[in-house]
Amino acid sequence: MHLRKYLLKGLHRLQKGPGYTYKELLVWYCNNTNTHGPKRIICEGPKKKAMWFLITLLFASLVCWQWSEFIKTYLNWEVTVSLSLGFKTMDFPAVTICNASPFQYSKTKHLLMDLDELMKAVLERILAPEASYANTTSALNFTLWNNTPLVLIYEQDSSHPVVLDLFENIPSASVGSNAAQGRTCSAPGCKLAMKLCSLNGTVCTFRNFTSATQAVTEWYALQATNIFSQVSRQELVEMGYSAEHMILACLFGTEPCSYRNFTSIFYPNYGNCYIFNWGMTEKALPSANPGAEFGLKLILDIDQEDYVPFLTSTAGARLMLHEQRTYPFIKEEGIDAMSGTETSIGVLVDKLQRMGEPYSPCTMNGSDVAIRNLYSSYNTTYSSQACLHSCFQDHMIHNCSCGHFLYPLPPGARYCNNQDFPDWAYCYFNLWMSVTQRETCINMCKESCNDTQYTMTISMADWPSEASEDWIFHVLSQERDHSTNITLSRKGVVKLNIYFQEFNYRTIEESAANNIVWLLSNLGGQFGFWMGGSVLCLIEFGEIIIDFMWITIIKLVAFFKGLRQKQAQAAYTGPPPTVAELVEAHTNFGFQPDTTNPSPHVEAYPDEQTLPIPGTPPPNYDSLRLQPLDTIESESEGDAI
């Protein structure tokens, strides 16, 4: 009883007007809301009312649908890109230069002697088998050979391939060995293959090659890796080309520079590499002008005569432009420069800057990638190449229990070699060719959000010219070796010009396509377009919902009260208590303040009453609620047109 009264009072205080039934509330809402449709529902004839009702419903659902579309679009985190192109003073890229041959042959001869002898014998066996049988091969060191021998496969009958060891006197462990075929193999179907065995030669696979050139090159590279992996890093660095020997002249803009300005780094494929302007210890050098005069000019000596003959077949310098503080993956991304020529490289910095999650799937610094970056020991930033290589080395250590020579080692691991890990070659090639391994790595690594490419325009000319050759070589030899003899040749010198082009940057930058302002203005636009509504309309609606709930609560309370009373009535037979009347009375009593305190609406009413319109009774709408029903009925009927 008291509860209901209290609730009614609460409702009354809450809204002052709309009404105490659902219908009243709805009509009040439609009449007073600021959205355009509902008002028309209540003040038209029945046909139009239905039409307007449908239209309003339709528009409301349209708005809801469009809103959901917009919110969906917003949650897609789309981006727009802006492109800028021009010239500005920029940090000159870091330039890494390497020699195509990793080591000086004169310094590695003692290590490679056995292998080279073996290689020569192999070549002789392949090229002129008959002649080589005369020579005894006893002088060779067969420990290298036995680990991974080269075999000839004769595939005339494809179901029974004949496998021949190149050195007949060595007992071959292969299964299909059939000595009846003879010792030579010059028939068309004869192919070289590398035999890879594991578990003491019980499980073997053949790595087939279609050409002998590839086979011997790969075989030599594998053996050389085995040898070099047993040598300490310090010794390897000493065997490579020194900066003093390699970098003859250096000029950056108008500032002279020398080999001392280069940071040395050991790169297993190319030996000693030297990085200019890496920005690790000092600030990166900027370049403020386009053109060859303001770039980096280098003269290098690659000393082709001292190349390891079987390890590399190309001759030249290898160079790469990269960002400061990034590791140069020169084998993958480097370019070659030829000896005896001047190579001019115009640079355009092509930068792509992305927003990162949730806009684009990329990583800012690699911290959210599950693979440990092995190149972090160089203090370099994350790159997807570094991730892929680290991933491979991880797999290698996991599967073969030793690390590959070409990639850095995680703490506690060792490089593979034949003595300690006899199965490593077998294991390595299996892993290397495995598609699943590669796909796992690709899926685990993410690209970096800032991607910088250096677009190069390369042109070449002969250098030095025939007329200037003499004096140039003389001066350079004098400077390097302090000798009056010419110690350089056209086969060894490389000249490089690296400079910014007239437009030196092209930056593609991402920005969010749909921000919260965009979302709100579009939501507002839709609501306004269909229904002329705004946020305030939504608040109005919310208010009505609250009222609605209040009314529901009141009704429920009444219902339960009524139920309880019925039960009580059933229990105690007697005169029915006039609860309903009481409630009514109380309700009316609760309304008393309303009538006595007219709302602002009502205050203006007396004005009308002063208007001298004859014949019309003075309206008293303010007291509408309390009037008997029949009065209104008659009035409305009288007004009907």
Partner 1 sequence: MAPGEKIKAKIKKNLPVRGPQAPTIKDLMHWYCMNTNTHGCRRIVVSRGRLRRLLWILFTLTAVALIIWQCALLIASFYTVSVSVKVHFQKLDFPAVTLCNINPYKYSVVRDLLADLDRETRKALKTLFGFSEVTSRKRRDTESENPAQKGIQPKFLNTIPLLAFNENEKGKARDFFTGKKRKVSGNIIHKSSDVMQVHKSKETVGFQLCPSNDTTNCATYTFSSGVNAIQEWYKLHYMNIMAQVPLEKKINMSYSAEELVVTCFFDGMSCDARNFTLFHHPMYGNCYTFNNRENETTLSTSMGGSEYGLQVILFIDEEEYNPFLVSSTGAKVLIHQQNEYPFIEDVGTEIETAMSTSIGMHLTESFKLSEPYSQCTEDGHDVPVENIYNASYSLQICLYSCFQTKMVEKCGCAQYSQPLPPNANYCNYQQNPDWMYCYYKLYQAFVNEELGCQTVCRETCRFKEWTQTSSLAQWPSEVSENWLLRVLTWDQRQQTNKQLNKTDLAKLLIFYKDLNQRSIVESPANSIEVLLSNFGGQLGLWMSCSVVCVIEIIEVFFIDFFSIIARRQWQKAKEWWARKKAHPGPEAPPSQQGQDNPTLYIDEDLPTFTSALHLPPALGAQVPGTPPPKYNTLHLERAFSNQLPDTQLTNEF
Question: Using the rule CB under 8 A, is 636 a contact of partner 1?
Answer: yes
Which of 471, 529, 559, 589 contacts partner 1 by CB under 8 A?
529
The structure tokens listed for 520 are 């709100």
CB of 631 to partner 1, least distance (A): 10
Question: Using the rule CB under 8 A, is 511 a contact of partner 1?
Answer: no
The edge-to-edge listing of strands for the beta sheet with 162-165 is 162-165, 150-154, 190-198, 203-208
Measure CA 269 to chain center. Answer: 28
Region label for 232, one of left (φ > 0), alpha (ψ between -120 and 50) or beta (otherwise): beta
Question: Using the rule CB under 8 A, is 21 a contact of partner 1?
Answer: yes
Q: Smaller CB distance to partner 1: residue 261 or 500?
A: 500
Question: Using the rule CB under 8 A, is 123 a contact of partner 1?
Answer: yes
Q: Smaller CB distance to partner 1: residue 182 or 256?
A: 182
Pairwise CA distance, residues 233 & 264, whole Å: 13
382-385 long-range Cβ contacts below 8 angstroms, 24+ apart: 382/448, 383/326, 383/327, 383/329, 383/448, 384/445, 384/446, 384/447, 384/448, 385/327, 385/329, 385/332, 385/333
Question: Using the rule CB under 8 A, is 126 a contact of partner 1?
Answer: yes
CB of 309 to partner 1, least distance (A): 4
Q: Smaller CB distance to partner 1: residue 560 or 621?
A: 621
List the interface residues with partner 1, window 263-322 (CB under 8 A): 304-305, 307-310, 312-316
Q: Smaller CB distance to partner 1: residue 59 or 145?
A: 59
CB of 350 to partner 1, least distance (A): 9
Q: Smaller CB distance to partner 1: residue 296 or 496?
A: 496
List the interface residues with partner 1, window 350-409 (CB under 8 A): 352, 354, 360, 362, 384-385, 388
Q: Smaller CB distance to partner 1: residue 140 or 513?
A: 513
List the interface residues with partner 1, window 211-240 (CB under 8 A): 211-214, 216
Part in contact with partner 1 (CB under 8 A); list of ranges 25-33, 164-172, 245-253, 291-299: 25-33
The structure tokens listed for 214 are 């590839």
Question: 197 has which bridge partners?
Answer: 204
Q: Give buried/exposed letters for 503-530 (b at 16+ CB in 10 A, else e).
A: ebbbbeebeeebeeeebeebbeebbeeb
Part in contact with partner 1 (CB under 8 A); list of ranges 84-92, 206-214, 468-476, 564-572: 206-214
Q: Smaller CB distance to partner 1: residue 257 or 311?
A: 311
Query: Is there a contact between 451 and 329 (Cβ–Cβ < 8 Å)?
Result: no
CB of 628 to partner 1, least distance (A): 10
Question: Using the rule CB under 8 A, is 24 a contact of partner 1?
Answer: yes
Pairwise CA distance, residues 349 & 336, whole Å: 19
List the interface residues with partner 1, window 531-570 (CB under 8 A): 531-533
Q: With CB under 8 A, what is the number of residues at the site for partner 1?
A: 125
Q: Smaller CB distance to partner 1: residue 186 or 202?
A: 186
Part in contact with partner 1 (CB under 8 A); list of ranges 196-204, 416-424, 434-442, 557-565: 434-442
Question: Using the rule CB under 8 A, is 117 a contact of partner 1?
Answer: no
Cα–Cα distances (Å) from 261 to 275, 298, 299, 377, in that order, read 8, 12, 14, 21
CB of 349 to partner 1, least distance (A): 14
List the interface residues with partner 1, window 63-92 (CB under 8 A): 66, 69-70, 73, 78-81
Which of 7, 55, 173, 553 contacts partner 1 by CB under 8 A?
55
Question: Using the rule CB under 8 A, is 161 a contact of partner 1?
Answer: no
CB of 69 to partner 1, least distance (A): 5
Pairwise CA distance, residues 454 & 471, whole Å: 35
Which of 107, 528, 540, 565 contacts partner 1 by CB under 8 A?
528
For every residue of 458-471, DSSP letters joined together read: EEEEESS-TTTHHH
Question: Using the rule CB under 8 A, is 127 a contact of partner 1?
Answer: yes
Query: Is there a contact between 151 and 193 (Cβ–Cβ < 8 Å)?
Result: yes
Measured distance between the N- and C-terminal CA atoms of the chain, rounded to whole angstroms: 46
SS3 497: strand
Using only C-alpha atoms, what is the Rg of the chain?
45
CB of 564 to partner 1, least distance (A): 27
Question: Using the rule CB under 8 A, is 446 a contact of partner 1?
Answer: yes
The structure tokens listed for 143 are 């420990």
Q: Smaller CB distance to partner 1: residue 14 or 58?
A: 58
List the interface residues with partner 1, window 33-52 (CB under 8 A): 36-37, 39-40, 42-45
CB of 260 to partner 1, least distance (A): 27
Which of these, 194, 501, 233, 563, lies nearest to 349 by C-alpha position?
A: 501
CB of 482 to partner 1, least distance (A): 26
Which of 6, 432, 503, 560 contacts partner 1 by CB under 8 A?
432
**Beta-carbon contacts of residue 92 (< 8 Å; ≥ 6 apart):** 252, 277, 284, 285, 286, 287, 295, 296, 500
Which of 140, 173, 508, 579 contacts partner 1 by CB under 8 A?
508
Question: Using the rule CB under 8 A, is 600 a contact of partner 1?
Answer: no
| Helix 535-571 vs helix 2-15: crossing angle, to nearest 10 | 170
DSSP 611: S
